[in-house]
Amino acid sequence: LIAEALRITCRYDHFELMDRLGFDTRQLADFAERTYPVKRITGKFKAKTDRGRAMEKALAIVQFKLEEQAIRANPHFEMEPRLWLETLTEMLDKGDTSSLNDTFFPTLNSENPQELSEEEQAIIDDLTVQFTTNKKLKRLLSFFFTEGKTYHIHSDILNIHALVPSTADGNFEEFMGRQGKDLLDFIQETISRVGRNYIEGTPQQPQDRDLFFYLWCGPKSPFFGKHAMKTFERYFLIDKASHVERTLYWKDNLQTKGFKQKLLDEFGVHRVIFGHTPVNYLKGARMASEDGIAINVDGGFAEAYYNRGHALVHTPHQLYGIILPTPQEIEEAERKLEAAPLDIELIDEFRQPLKIRDTIEGQRLKERRDTLLKSIKGLSK
């Protein structure tokens, strides 16, 4: 994941970000520019600078090698279709490269494609030390580890980042012998343990590191939701059909009454809020299901996903969504000295205004009040 994070950073030439955080990428940059001359980089790399393209490709190869090591070490991940490097070396050895847009892979060992070269190993070792000891990064990530949750329940509403893994027939998907709430609790325990180790500087367990990789791109991860992440194919295969990442069953299942009820019963809630990707509002998609039970709320920060986020407002009288304007619409409104456009989606109205006592926090306050009153009465005896 360190290689993945830096690859994405280099993909968008965000060197200023790495400088602000205090990362030293000289060793990586020197290796990348020596090993991958810009004229030999013909894959679909997005970085615009020569330095960025070289580093993006170098990190991609390191990432693919480390991913294959993790996949082979964990057969229960069931990610064998992602093992591309052996196929790639066979294609290169046979000269069967008509389906490739890039054939320059000087660090690939045809006898053991997933093995890092000495320089690659030295680079990832250096980056690992920097990632695990960088004080600025640790301050930022400590917040996520201490405050973030795999899921959160508030006022009878389940909040999750993306999804609860499910099957085509509307049941909860099983992973590592767990499913539904039990699976998310297990993942949260792992994340909390990894976070404590990271903050304290304690070495991580290999199985925890591998699970973090799976959470990033595994088909049964509650943070992903597709059958595969096709990074290798998008970089190196000409056939665009191979680039397709098929979305799994979460959103389809949320269209069925049975699955929604199963979800509510599993977590003991009345609604579920999920995100990960925003709805395409311009094409008529709505944030909420017709019954208001399933609500899609996403920040919409990614340009690839419409650059248009959502917000959810819960008042004593109503629950409604707001479709936020894009940055371009905000700039245009400021130029015209007008208010930026907001679209409102009414999700629910309450006949009886909700009061604090109707919320989970209200129940906690009531219990605390009752405990205090009981203590006071005990003192008066």
How confident is the model over 289-327, as pLDDT tens digits? Answer: 999 999 999 877 666 666 678 889 988 899 999 988 888
Asked if the structure places residue 368 within a domain, the reply is: no
Do 228 and 244 contact (CB within 8 A), yes or no?
Answer: no
Residue 6 and residue 128 in one domain: yes
Q: Mark whether 283 and 332 lie in a shared domain.
A: yes
Judgement on whether residues 13 and 126 belong to the same structural domain of the protein: yes
Specify the number of domains making up the chain. Answer: 3
Predicted confidence at residue 361, as pLDDT, reads 79
Is residue 276 located within the same domain as residue 238? no
Are both 231 and 143 inside the same structural domain? yes
Q: Is 158 domain-assigned?
A: no
Do 223 and 269 lie in one domain? The reply is no
Q: What is the pLDDT of residue 377?
A: 84
The pLDDT assigned to 33 comes to 97
Do 238 and 268 lie in one domain? The reply is no
Is 99 contained in some domain?
Answer: yes
Residue ranges of the chain with pLDDT lower than 50?
Answer: none
Q: Count the alpha carbons within 13 Å of 245 in the hemisphere toward its beta carbon.
A: 14
264 and 281 both lie in a single domain: yes
Helix ranges (DSSP H) in the chain: 2-11, 15-21, 26-35, 50-73, 85-94, 118-133, 135-147, 180-200, 206-217, 231-236, 250-253, 257-267, 327-335, 360-380
Whether 365 maps to a domain, the answer reads no
> Do 325 and 215 lie in a common domain?
no
The single-letter code of the amino acid at 301 is F
Give me 191's structure tokens: 């994340």
- Give me the pLDDT at residue 341, please: 82
- Among 218, 243, 268, give the residue marking a domain's end: 243
Q: Which of 183, 214, 243 is the last residue of a domain?
A: 243
**Same domain membership, residue 106 and residue 14:** yes
Name the DSSP letter for residue 348.
E
Same domain, 274 and 345: yes
Q: How far is it, in rounded angstroms, from Cα 253 to Cα 184?
A: 18
In a domain, 315, yes or no: yes
Residue 49 belongs to some domain of the structure: yes
pLDDT (0 to 100) of residue 130: 94
- Whether residues 309 and 211 share a domain: the answer is no
Structural domain includes residue 18? yes
Of 221, 243, 265, the last residue of a domain is 243
Say what the alpha-carbon torsion angle 87, 91, 92, 98 is, to the nearest 10 degrees.
Answer: -130
- Residue 110's SS3 state is coil
Q: Hey, is 224 helix, strand or coil?
A: coil
SS3 of residue 116 by DSSP: coil
Domain limits for position 228: 135-149+163-243
Query: For residue 156, is it within any domain?
Result: no
Give the pTM: 0.87
- Region for 201 from its dihedrals, namely left if φ exceeds 0, alpha if ψ lies in -120 to 50, beta otherwise: left
